[in-house]
Structure 1
Amino acid sequence: MELSLDGVTFALDGDTLVRDLSLHVGTGQIVGLVGPNGSGKSTALRCVYRALRPTGGTVLLDGRDLTSLTPRESARAVAAMTQDSSVDLDFTAEEVVSLGRAPHLRGNRTPSERERGLVTGTMARLGIGHLAHRGILTLSGGERQRVLVARALVQEPEVLVLDEPTNHLDIRHQLELLALLRGSGPTVLVALHDLNLAAAACDRLAVLSRGRLVASGTPEEVLTAELLREVFGVRADVVRHPRTGDPQLLYVLPAHP
């Protein structure tokens, strides 16, 4: 499924958080949103998964206005894992992951054998099968993060929206998660802070600054020393990864006064 943001704007109390954002994510692509804190990444994502309604512009799924879909239709098409995802009740990890099937169930119908297998298989892929019967509130931040990613994947969305999915994860699980996304199938729009991870995981990057799109293209096209200086305020050398050829950034610490 193709995802398009066509001139999306969001303003609140006279402050424009996202301004005239146009972005296209092709079917099966992974596009990363990157930018400094406060650049509008999370606000843009919230417009995609309908937590916010744009004050201007349109979000389109295969050319269809997202707002024309019913909540159930959009929940079947778009799954999200947000920075503020939380579970206040002490469900088991397996129960939390199973909640991803809610948009597909009607009434009191219980999950089918296929759906139970989907939950079990997805948890195994994310290395959390052994946590199935643990209470979600007893898990570490990284374990809980992987449970929430599993919940989104079990939803079987055509578009997956992830806001900083590698938060709380150690480096091994960061790499495993991003590798899983590359083979998961859905169209993916993901906000990432780590530019080296973004360069390795994403087909294209979109750079936001103060709510505006300032650059878009492949990681090699976007991640230049000039852009890093102008947008992020840092100095860095851009080199190629010796194994993959992906651009990687070597940051230069500012000189002490």
Structure 2
Amino acid sequence: MDLRLDALSVVTDGRSLVRGLSLEVPDGQVVGLVGPNGSGKSTALRCVYRALRPSSGTVWVGEQDLARLEPGHSARTVAAMTQEGGVDVDFTVEEVVALGRAPHLRGNRALGARERDVCARAMDRLDIGHLAHRGVLTLSGGERRRVLLARALVQEPKVLVLDEPTNHLDVRHQVGLLSFLRGSGLTVLVVLHDLNLAAAACDRLGVLCEGRLVASGPPAEVLTTQLVGDVFGVRASIVSHPLTGGPQLLYSLDSTR
């Protein structure tokens, strides 16, 4: 299912956080939002998973205005893992993951065999099956991130929205997560701070600066020395990845402007 941000703007306390953002995420592709801190990336994502109502503009899922969908339908269409998402009560891992099935269940109906299987597969895919009976408050930050992503996956959404999903993950789980996203078949909009990971994982990138989209397209076209200097304020050399041919950035410690 396509996702489209159409002239999205967010104004809070007289300050424009997102300014006329238009961005397309084609069906089955991974599109990354990158940009400096405070550029509007997370704010834009909040509009997509309906934690924030845009001041103007529309979020389209397929041919439907997301704001007009009833909450249950919306939750079955778009799932999110946010920066702030967490669990304050010491539920077990399997209990937290099972919460993702709520949009598909009526009332307090218990999980059936299919629901339990969906949860088990998601936990195994994210390497947390062995943690199923652990309390989430006993987990490391990276383990909790994987639990929250599993919860989003068991919603069986058409669109997945992820805000810095690799935070707290070790290298193996970063690579595994991004590889999974590339092969998932889901429409994915993801905020990433690591430009090299973004270049490797995303079909397209959108670059935000001061709330505006300043560039979009395939990573090889977007990530130029000029853009990285202008937007991020650092000097970088762009080289080809020896295995994939994709762009990779090399920084030096004295590269800040």
* Amino acid corresponding to residue 106 of structure 2 in structure 1: R
Partner of 1:137 in structure 2?
137
Partner of 1:117 in structure 2?
117
Q: How do residues 69-84 of structure 1 correspond to structure 2 at under 5 angstroms? A: 69-84=69-84
Distance in 1 (CA, whole Å) between partners of 2:183 and 2:91 is 29
Structure 1 residues 220 and 109: alpha-carbon distance in aligned structure 2, compared to 1, 3 A threshold: same
* Amino acid corresponding to residue 221 of structure 1 in structure 2: E
Q: Secondary structure at the match of 1:254?
A: strand
Q: Secondary structure at the match of 2:205?
A: strand
8 Å CA contact 1:235–1:253 kept in 2: the answer is no
* Amino acid corresponding to residue 71 of structure 1 in structure 2: P
Partner of 2:47 in structure 1?
47
Q: Secondary structure at the match of 1:90?
A: coil
Distance in 2 (CA, whole Å) between partners of 1:255 and 1:71 is 47
8 Å CA contact 2:236–2:255 kept in 1: the answer is no
Distance in 2 (CA, whole Å) between partners of 1:67 and 1:176 is 33
* Amino acid corresponding to residue 6 of structure 2 in structure 1: D
Partner of 1:22 in structure 2?
22
Please say if 1:242 is aligned against 2:242. Answer: yes
Q: Secondary structure at the match of 1:177?
A: helix
Partner of 2:167 in structure 1?
167
Distance in 2 (CA, whole Å) between partners of 1:11 and 1:255 is 34
Distance in 2 (CA, whole Å) between partners of 1:118 and 1:63 is 28
TM-score by length of 2: 0.98
Distance in 2 (CA, whole Å) between partners of 1:65 and 1:85 is 25
Please say if 1:6 is aligned against 2:12. Answer: no
8 Å CA contact 2:94–2:133 kept in 1: the answer is yes
Partner of 2:187 in structure 1?
187
8 Å CA contact 2:33–2:207 kept in 1: the answer is yes
Unaligned runs of 5+ in 2: none
Note the aligned Cα RMSD (angstroms).
Answer: 1.0
8 Å CA contact 1:10–1:18 kept in 2: the answer is yes
* Amino acid corresponding to residue 45 of structure 1 in structure 2: L
Partner of 1:32 in structure 2?
32
TM-score by length of 1: 0.98
Runs of 4+ in 1 over 2 A off after TM superposition: none
Distance in 1 (CA, whole Å) between partners of 2:117 and 2:57 is 40
Q: Secondary structure at the match of 1:253?
A: strand
Unaligned runs of 5+ in 1: none
Q: How many residues align?
A: 256
Distance in 2 (CA, whole Å) between partners of 1:12 and 1:255 is 34
* Amino acid corresponding to residue 229 of structure 2 in structure 1: R
Distance in 2 (CA, whole Å) between partners of 1:174 and 1:95 is 24
Deviation for aligned residue 1:255? 6.7
Worse overlay, 162-171 or 59-68: 59-68
